Amino acid sequence: MGVVERESGPGLAQVRRVRTEIPGPESARLLRRQHAALPAGVGSSLPVFVTEAGGGVVVDVDGNSFIDFGSGIAVTTVGNAAPRVVERAAGQLARFTHTCFLVNPYESYVEVCETLNRLSPVPGEKRTFLVNTGAEAVENAVKIARAATGRPGIVVFDHGYHGRTLLTMSMTAKNAPYKQGFGPFAPEVHRAPMAYPYRWRGDRERCAEEAAAALADLLDRQVGAANVAAVVVEPIQGEGGFIVPPTGFLPAVAEICAARGILLIADEVQTGIARTGALFACEHEGIRPDLVTTAKGLGGGLPLGAVTGRAELMDAVPPGGLGGTFSGNPVACEAALGVFDEIERHDLVRRAGEIERVMRPALAELAERHPFIGDVRGRGAMQAVEIVRGPDGTPDPARTAEISGRCHRDGLLTLTAGSHGNVLRFLPPLSISDSLLAEGLEVLAKAL
Ligand SMILES: *Cc1c(COP(=O)(O)O)cnc(C)c1O
């Protein structure tokens, strides 16, 4: 493998640069237009208007350049406007932009499916089909699980996030802002406690076993296992606050499902596609889900989602039962093939592990210094700290927002998350340079 330029366009300097207040005057002007034209329900974490992004930076209309610790919420994992993504998508744009796969197929769609079949942790013979978003992938995985088992029930976990459509909003745990006022919700969605070591109410040492026992109890006693089509789990919860279940929990969930004829759906919309130091986060514990959903990182910034599953389950839906007008758009498919190319060329799975080895000790050291950091956790380039009032662990969302705001004003794009809004999460693109990664951590240290 030759030396390949990791940064995007040559014009985009890989530097942190704060020239104005944040947001700057140009962004403020555009924000006023936004507020007059868009509903209030559409908000932004860092309301600066972007002109360019790539490598490890996001540049705004005022000439500010932010170190990117967000990747557009785990989407531009291989880098924003990554060279192979741009090249392939641009080529496709010039050839044709759409046929509707349900009208005329094209090869790139099939190739994305073949690639996901080859790489995904689903066992045996597999099939994949494509959609546009994560929520759509989760909805379709549930449809397939119901069709294949003839059962209606779906079990999800506390702190889980699965999307904003009616079904996936019903599956999402957190009320405000995702569900407040939007009911009634879809029926047959049941919620089990998540193995969340830092906030486990029982014996923290036995968190995995106790949470698995609670799931079995929910299935057997409350819902009835014979009524449950699938258990849907994020191997690491994303919006819920980068909750990494203790070792043994996911295999226990898989075993509980298998013993009851219940399908296991791994929602890898946020964790999948090299983010956690494996192509899929399921690999860290060797679990083999029946179905897996992907989206965020899959299209390299273009909207693309997928459901990959065991062939006999996927084929339970008769012809015409799956699809959508825009599903598997040809430009997005070419972009996804560019994503896999970038991952392979730059060994980005390993790069995610390297990023963890830089970030983790740095975050742990900050936690030593600051008693308001209650927990440090994550995998690969998906790391987080939980901000609390003190040793009792009371969540501190106000301080979290203040720290994040300070990072923004000092040129570091950070995101928050968590059921209590008290988690600072870090999702750098895997194309970020070591020096920018280190500089981002320094900015964070200063903000803390
Ligand atoms: C973001 C996310 C979704 C929803 O994806 P959209 O593309 O926003 O619909 C579903 N599941 C998980 C785990 C996510 O992180």
Tell me: the pLDDT tens digits for 303-316?
Answer: 999 999 999 999 99
Report yes or no: 277 and 353 within 8 Å, Cβ to Cβ.
Answer: yes
Residue range(s) of every CATH 3.40.640.10 domain in the chain: 84-345
What pLDDT sits at residue 426? 98
Q: 136 C-alpha vs ligand 1 centroid, how far in Å?
A: 9
Cβ neighbours for 188, distance < 8 A, ≥ 6 positions apart: 152, 153, 154
The tokens for 426 are 């870090």
- With a Cβ cut-off of 6 Å, ligand 1 is lined by 133-135, 138, 161-163, 234, 238-239, 267, 269-270, 295-296
What is the arrangement of strands in the sheet containing 65-68, beginning at the earlier edge strand? 50-54, 57-60, 65-68, 412-413
The tokens for 347 are 């060994």
The tokens for 443 are 């900015």
- Between CA 87 and CA 217 the distance in angstroms is 52
Instruction: Return the ligand 1 atom nearest residue 165 CA.
Output: 9
* Closest C-alpha to ligand 1, atom 15: 270
- Between CA 61 and CA 30 the distance in angstroms is 10
Report yes or no: 310 and 122 within 8 Å, Cβ to Cβ.
Answer: yes
Exposure string over 306-315, b if 16+ CB within 10 A, otherwise e: bbbbbeebbe
What pLDDT sits at residue 301? 98
What pLDDT sits at residue 11? 67
Query: Fold for domain 2-68+353-447?
Result: Aspartate Aminotransferase, domain 1 (3.90.1150)
The tokens for 263 are 């399908």
What pLDDT sits at residue 419? 96
What pLDDT sits at residue 25? 98
Q: 162 C-alpha vs ligand 1 centroid, how far in Å?
A: 5
For β-strands 423-426 and 415-417, DSSP reports them as antiparallel
Q: 50 C-alpha vs ligand 1 centroid, how far in Å?
A: 23
User: Residue 191 — φ and ψ, nearest 5°?
Assistant: -120, 130
What is the arrangement of strands in the sheet containing 153-157, beginning at the earlier edge strand? 126-131, 305-310, 291-294, 263-267, 228-233, 153-157, 189-192
The single residue listed with the structure tokens 């390949």 is 4
The single residue listed with the structure tokens 């689903």 is 122
3-state SS assignment for residue 67: strand
Question: What are the distances in angstroms from CA 65 to CA 54, 57, 389?
Answer: 11, 6, 32
What pLDDT sits at residue 284? 98
Going by C-alpha positions, the residue among 160, 299, 154, 294 that lies closest to residue 239 is 160
Instruction: Return the ligand 1 atom nearest residue 164 CA.
Output: 9
- Between CA 252 and CA 231 the distance in angstroms is 12
Half-sphere exposure of 399 (CA within 13 A, CB side): 17
* Closest C-alpha to ligand 1, atom 10: 162
Give, as one character, the DSSP assignment of residue 267.
Answer: E
What pLDDT sits at residue 7? 44
User: Residue 146 — φ and ψ, nearest 5°?
Assistant: -70, -45
129 bridge partner residues: 307
For β-strands 382-387 and 412-413, DSSP reports them as unpaired
Q: For the beta carbon of residue 4, count every other beta carbon within 10 angstroms.
A: 10
Q: 18 C-alpha vs ligand 1 centroid, how far in Å?
A: 31
* Closest C-alpha to ligand 1, atom 11: 162
What pLDDT sits at residue 8? 46
Architecture of domain 84-345: 3-Layer(aba) Sandwich (3.40)
Indicate the top mutation candidate among 162, 232, 382, 425 to test ligand 1's pocket, ranked by most ligand atoms within 8 A of CB: 162
Report yes or no: 18 and 411 within 8 Å, Cβ to Cβ.
Answer: yes
Give, as one character, the DSSP assignment of residue 407.
Answer: H
Cβ neighbours for 286, distance < 8 A, ≥ 6 positions apart: 251
Residues of the chain with pLDDT under 70: 1-11
pTM above 0.75, yes or no: yes
Q: 303 C-alpha vs ligand 1 centroid, how far in Å?
A: 12
Q: 39 C-alpha vs ligand 1 centroid, how far in Å?
A: 21
- CB-based burial label for 73 (10 Å; 0-12, 13-18, 19+): middle
Element (H, E) at 396: none
Q: 137 C-alpha vs ligand 1 centroid, how far in Å?
A: 9
- Between CA 413 and CA 319 the distance in angstroms is 45
Q: For the beta carbon of residue 172, count every other beta carbon within 10 angstroms.
A: 24
Q: Is the peptide bond before 184 cis (omega within 30 degrees of 0)?
A: yes
Cβ neighbours for 174, distance < 8 A, ≥ 6 positions apart: 159, 161, 239, 240, 419
Q: 163 C-alpha vs ligand 1 centroid, how far in Å?
A: 5
Residue range(s) of every CATH 3.90.1150.10 domain in the chain: 2-68+353-447
What pLDDT sits at residue 168? 98
Instruction: Return the ligand 1 atom nearest residue 239 CA.
Output: 15
